Structure 1
Amino acid sequence: MDYINYTKNFICQIINQDLQKNKYKIICTRFPPEPNGYLHIGHLKSICLNFFIAKFYKGKCNLRFDDTNPSKEHAKYVQAIQKDLKWLGFTWYSNITYSSDYFHQIYQYAIELIKKELAYVDELNIKDIREYRGTLLTNGIDSPYRYRSVKENLTLFENMRLGKFPEGSMSLRAKIDMNSNAIIMRDPVLYRIKYIKHYKTKNEWCIYPTYDFAHCIADAIEGITHSLCTLEFQDNRMLYNWILNNISIKNYPKQYEFAKLNIEHSVLSKRKINILLKNNIIQSWNDPRLFTISGLRKRGYTASSLKNFCYGIGVTKQNNLIEQTFLESYIKNELNQRAYRIMAILYPLKLIIINFPKNITEIIIKAPNHPNNSNMGYRYIFFTKEIYIDNTDFIEHISDNTNKKLTIGQEVRLRYAFVIKAVNIIKDIQGNIICVHCLYDPNTLGVKINKNRNVKGIVHWVSKIYSVKSDFYLYNELLINKNNENIKDILSVINKKSLLICKGFIEKNILQLCNITKHFQFERIGYFYLDKIFNNPKKIIFNRITKLKKK
């Protein structure tokens, strides 16, 4: 990672200026996920930024769960988020905190605002509150309950706390300015009634603070110096500052916004992911077609490649759509250096070597595990009478002389092995090719072929008897559109070929190599990740991380 370039981002420049002015003794950031789903690659940008700043400036970064909405939150997501952060290699400061840890303090600050005549209990329902707020072109209208006395508001708010009113019948709103140019400042809701058991506080509360009210207070309580969030919270900064300015709290964090991460063909909205789960488009949050951290991990991405990707895109104030190939380049660059090479056949076509010696079972061939790294050693592959090649490397009829496939009368070289020539095709009664008879040239092993011989190309292969059955899960873009942020009907843009499952074969050497690594480059195909091994019968499942080349 290029730390020098990353530290040139505008947030680091702000922190540098703050430190020069001695504004803070220690820099403190936080990562505040809501436990209502799994982390995705959009969160990763914030994670990398907050934890990097804490480490670079020898400060601290808190992990604080924003658990103010019990209707969507669950302890299982708390565990999943911790697991992802640990896998990524990030360590938070001290103990994990929760917004719910501060419910009693937040409640007292709400009472303080009521006493200052800066908050009131409103009986408008949510729909009416939205209508009364107006639009960007029209002013808001005061609620008929806006001018209640302090005493009445305190009594009503206490009765809300005691559960004496139906859910949705009342809320606590800030009294700011119904004519503000910023709609968020038109008397925003601070508390609402929810008769839902909280995963952490159980049934202790039936009123819950909104994110905007709780977040800035939690930041201040924890001594956060730089509260970093994405650009959609830019208008919220006015409310963030208003709340802190009007309550008697000691610390005063500053909020700064940066561009969130958008990536092509992805769906990062938790609401939309839940739609996909409900409609069985995906089976879980760690589906490898999702850009959740756990999904990318299951697909085969490494923690280092994901972090380096985030450091590579940097931190700006300009929203943009990142190409998926840019993300893929980081895992490719990493695996190109360390992934063992092996041959696999995804679409098997059997070849029979009709001139194979009758007195032997196999010809043993030494092959490198990596073409550019001899330290990764060698393996032995077995050339036998019956082998598999990929059916995409055979063509029955050629249209021109440039085709580099095996065909009748045309020679190709088997990777690391001999030159072969197809002489006959065997078909079933439906006309499907079931095998091809070939001749091999025993004098071509490790020998450079004269150009005049016109050997067309190199194809990969595996022995029929020295191979293992494998299922190959080929993951493609889940969504057909590049930009899906504003798509309302997510089901309308599903790529029906987002997952293809191939049943083929792989070198038997994989059984030894799997004890060393789970990442492989299947020659001429792509990078794959070992998912599962079944022993009876022996079968392996691989997930494709990415193709070698974008086609």
Structure 2
Amino acid sequence: MSAESRKANNFIRNLIEESIASGQHQGKVVTRFPPEPNGYLHIGHAKSICLNFGIAETFGGDCTLRFDDTNPEKESQEYIDAITRDVKWLGGDWTGDVRYASDYFDAIYDFAVELIEKGLAYVCALNADEMAEYRGTLTEPGRNSPYRDRPVEENLKLFREMRDGKHEGGSLVLRAKIDMASPNINLRDPILYRIRFASHHQTGDKWCIYPMYDFTHPISDAMEGITHSLCTLEFEDHRPLYDWVIDNISAPCKPRQIEFARLNLNYTITSKRKLKRLVDEGFVESWDDPRMPTISGMRRRGFTPQSIRNFCDMVGVSKAGGTVDLGMLEHAIREDLNARAPRAMCVMRPLKVTLTNYPEGQSESLTLPVHPQDPDMGSREAPWTRTLYIDREDFAEEPPRKWKRLAPNQAVRLRGGYVMTCREVVRDDSGEIVELRCEYDPATLGVNPEGYKPNGVIHWVSADESVDADVYLYDRLFNHEAPDSDKSVDFVTHINSENLIVKTGARVEKSLAQPRNDIPYQFEREGYFFLDEARSTAEKPVFNRTVTLRDSWAKAQK
């Protein structure tokens, strides 16, 4: 975790300092990150990872990684592997082995039996519709189930039969006996166990009953000695049930649940169900598609762990909910990459330039810095040849007012190279410009002789000694600030039609023949780009745009 995260002051840190001062938990601090393995982690989870691991580090405590795997029908080993990889990449260093709620299924069953024996749980045969009817509403109390007063021995017998597979799925559930008139609907005799004839990715076919999340979570926390169970605000109404479970079983530890505001980004969705739909219906290629707000997608796009941690520090931790502007995340990425990304040149829309006064067959090597502000990063060599490529958008035959690039009979400087002047425009039979014939001035390498006023600086590559590449220009996936806010409109209708533009036949400088795969490059004047190893070949690298050099989205939307 980042030093900033460890030092950041927030209400959770203050509460923990108070609990330590009062002697709670013998001064220990143990947190956990408990994802459900039913999808990939997204940017919202990143905040929780930074908080839980950061708090543990701040107080010299421990943080465990535990999968809350209580729904085998929606879980898979693929998700487990992806989550483990993402947490480690982001900097989460968990204590001990990876844990699973299913590790405690035997203990959870025994605690359920304990509640039955205390008269605090019963087996109910109401179906789903009947249970909803009996539950009541926000303004009306619920009604007791007709099975609420079964004798303890009958409940124990039925619960054993549920475990042994003697009843059909959905026919019986185990419910807590709390208060059907409670204003908190979560306390109106919630379900603790249900029958599911489904093979589990960790326990196989050992169980045909599975505990509910709200029952499993507090028990798993207690089994692991968690002192502070940090959850997002949607679990605030569930805290009384969390505490009820802990208070009514022989729990080895009494964790304290503390809620904080979840991370919401505009132009983004973080519902796993909706993200899965994007994958399943082909709106994106996969969970790690660079357009996805998943940690895997952001890693493939070129986001760095440090930039994501910095972003989470910028957002902070509070009780107040709200939506963070996506531009803040993009700013955090730029701030991190500006200082560390090596520079290179890429011509995405090549236009041939012939230097008519440069000898045929001759070439020279120009030395350019890897990073203009960091000499320690060294230098790179750029071949200068008679034939070059510039970007087609850097030439205008009839330039607009204040044009700062190449035009007929106007001079520009080529980045790190010479000044050249366009003398002739060559067209093909259709009238399209296919070549510029220019003259370069050999006295202008690194200097501006008196009388020269180059019309700006543009990037370039050698036509003969550059590398063919494809470039994927990713943009925001949605063109609506809150794509899933209006439930009457399908959120996919807000997908940005230009969320991906592929540039084939781009040319990158020779130094990128074997590009780095650990950090994005800044393609000068274009943005930050990261090697996509999944698409690249030995002959052709493929680069994903991580982020533009500046935020032009807000202006474009006005």
**TM-score scaled to structure 2, two decimals?**
0.93
- Alignment of 1:155 onto 2:133: no
Paired position in structure 1 for 2:483 = 484
Give, in whole Å, the separation in 2 of the partners of 1:347 and 1:309. Answer: 33
Could you tell which deviates more after superposition, 365-374 or 193-202?
Answer: 365-374
Give, in whole Å, the separation in 2 of the partners of 1:537 and 1:184. Answer: 57
Paired position in structure 1 for 2:58 = 56
For the 8 Å contact 2:6–2:57, the answer to whether it is kept is no
CA drift of 1:482 comes to: 2.1
- Alignment of 1:545 onto 2:534: no
Could you tell which deviates more after superposition, 403-412 or 237-246?
Answer: 403-412
Give, in whole Å, the separation in 2 of the partners of 1:135 and 1:533. Answer: 51
Give, in whole Å, the separation in 2 of the partners of 1:103 and 1:536. Answer: 47
Paired position in structure 2 for 1:192 = 194
- Alignment of 1:456 onto 2:455: yes
For the 8 Å contact 1:321–1:483, the answer to whether it is kept is no
Give, in whole Å, the separation in 2 of the partners of 1:387 and 1:485. Answer: 48
Paired position in structure 2 for 1:310 = 312
Aligned-residue Cα RMSD (Å) equals: 2.1
- Could you give the per-residue CA deviations for residues 11-53 of structure 1, whole angstroms, max 9, x where no partner exists? 1101101111111221111111111111212111111111112
Paired position in structure 2 for 1:408 = 408
CA drift of 1:515 comes to: 5.5
Give, in whole Å, the separation in 1 of the partners of 2:154 and 2:124. Answer: 11
- Alignment of 1:520 onto 2:504: no
Give, in whole Å, the separation in 1 of the partners of 2:528 and 2:448. Answer: 28
CA drift of 1:54 comes to: 1.4
Letter in 2 for 1:436: L
- Could you give the per-residue CA deviations for residues 527-546 of structure 1, whole angstroms, max 9, x where no partner exists? 11122399977211111111
Q: What secondary structure sits across from 2:507 in the alignment? A: strand
Give the 5 Å matches for 1:322-471: 322-358=324-360, 360-400=361-401, 402-450=402-450, 453-471=452-470
For the 8 Å contact 1:413–1:459, the answer to whether it is kept is yes
Paired position in structure 1 for 2:124 = 122
For the 8 Å contact 1:353–1:437, the answer to whether it is kept is yes
For the 8 Å contact 1:122–1:173, the answer to whether it is kept is yes
Give the 5 Å matches for 1:89-128: 89-128=91-130
Letter in 2 for 1:432: E
For the 8 Å contact 2:5–2:50, the answer to whether it is kept is no
Q: 1:471 to 1:248 in 2, by over 3 A?
A: same
CA drift of 1:382 comes to: 2.2
Give, in whole Å, the separation in 1 of the partners of 2:199 and 2:526. Answer: 51
Gaps of 5+ in 2: 553-558
CA drift of 1:517 comes to: 5.5
Paired position in structure 2 for 1:46 = 48
Paired position in structure 2 for 1:171 = 173
For the 8 Å contact 1:532–1:541, the answer to whether it is kept is yes
Give, in whole Å, the separation in 1 of the partners of 2:462 and 2:535. Answer: 20
Give, in whole Å, the separation in 2 of the partners of 1:139 and 1:287. Answer: 47
- Could you give the per-residue CA deviations for residues 319-348 of structure 1, whole angstroms, max 9, x where no partner exists? 122222222222322222222111111111
Could you tell which deviates more after superposition, 529-538 or 461-470?
Answer: 529-538
For the 8 Å contact 2:268–2:293, the answer to whether it is kept is yes
- Could you give the per-residue CA deviations for residues 220-275 of structure 1, whole angstroms, max 9, x where no partner exists? 12111101100000000011111112222232111000011112222221101110
CA drift of 1:131 comes to: 3.0
Give, in whole Å, the separation in 2 of the partners of 1:83 and 1:214. Answer: 24
CA drift of 1:435 comes to: 1.8
CA drift of 1:365 comes to: 2.2
Q: What secondary structure sits across from 1:538 in the alignment? A: coil
CA drift of 1:399 comes to: 3.2
Q: 1:482 to 1:6 in 2, by over 3 A?
A: farther
For the 8 Å contact 2:517–2:531, the answer to whether it is kept is no
CA drift of 1:208 comes to: 0.5
Q: 1:124 to 1:516 in 2, by over 3 A?
A: closer
**TM-score scaled to structure 1, two decimals?**
0.94
Give, in whole Å, the separation in 2 of the partners of 1:19 and 1:9. Answer: 16
Q: 1:24 to 1:128 in 2, by over 3 A?
A: same
For the 8 Å contact 1:267–1:290, the answer to whether it is kept is no
Q: What secondary structure sits across from 1:54 in the alignment? A: helix
Letter in 2 for 1:491: V
- Could you give the per-residue CA deviations for residues 481-518 of structure 1, whole angstroms, max 9, x where no partner exists? 22235354232221121111112000112236x36964
- Could you give the per-residue CA deviations for residues 84-114 of structure 1, whole angstroms, max 9, x where no partner exists? 2222232211222211111111112212222
Q: What secondary structure sits across from 2:289 in the alignment? A: coil
For the 8 Å contact 2:354–2:386, the answer to whether it is kept is yes
Give the 5 Å matches for 1:13-92: 13-25=14-26, 26-92=28-94
CA drift of 1:66 comes to: 0.4
Q: What secondary structure sits across from 2:154 in the alignment? A: helix
For the 8 Å contact 2:367–2:381, the answer to whether it is kept is yes
Q: 1:430 to 1:140 in 2, by over 3 A?
A: farther
Could you tell which deviates more after superposition, 31-40 or 489-498?
Answer: 489-498
Letter in 2 for 1:216: P
Letter in 2 for 1:36: N
Could you tell which deviates more after superposition, 154-163 or 209-218?
Answer: 154-163
Give, in whole Å, the separation in 1 of the partners of 2:147 and 2:432. Answer: 79
Q: What secondary structure sits across from 1:71 in the alignment? A: helix
Q: What secondary structure sits across from 2:216 in the alignment? A: helix
Paired position in structure 2 for 1:501 = 502
Q: What secondary structure sits across from 2:244 in the alignment? A: helix
Give, in whole Å, the separation in 2 of the partners of 1:131 and 1:459. Answer: 70
Could you tell which deviates more after superposition, 234-243 or 94-103?
Answer: 94-103
Letter in 2 for 1:52: G
- Could you give the per-residue CA deviations for residues 112-149 of structure 1, whole angstroms, max 9, x where no partner exists? 22222222212222233223222212222332322322
Q: 1:517 to 1:508 in 2, by over 3 A?
A: farther
Give, in whole Å, the separation in 2 of the partners of 1:272 and 1:483. Answer: 14
Letter in 1 for 2:409: G
Paired position in structure 2 for 1:213 = 215
Q: What secondary structure sits across from 1:49 in the alignment? A: helix
Aligned length, in residue pairs: 547
Paired position in structure 1 for 2:556 = none
Paired position in structure 2 for 1:474 = 473
Give, in whole Å, the separation in 1 of the partners of 2:460 and 2:176. Answer: 70
Q: 1:428 to 1:144 in 2, by over 3 A?
A: farther
Q: What secondary structure sits across from 2:307 in the alignment? A: helix
Give, in whole Å, the separation in 2 of the partners of 1:517 and 1:146. Answer: 60
For the 8 Å contact 1:468–1:539, the answer to whether it is kept is yes
- Could you give the per-residue CA deviations for residues 185-233 of structure 1, whole angstroms, max 9, x where no partner exists? 1111111110000111111111110000011111112111101100000
For the 8 Å contact 2:443–2:449, the answer to whether it is kept is no
CA drift of 1:453 comes to: 4.5
- Could you give the per-residue CA deviations for residues 377-404 of structure 1, whole angstroms, max 9, x where no partner exists? 222222222211111111222232x111
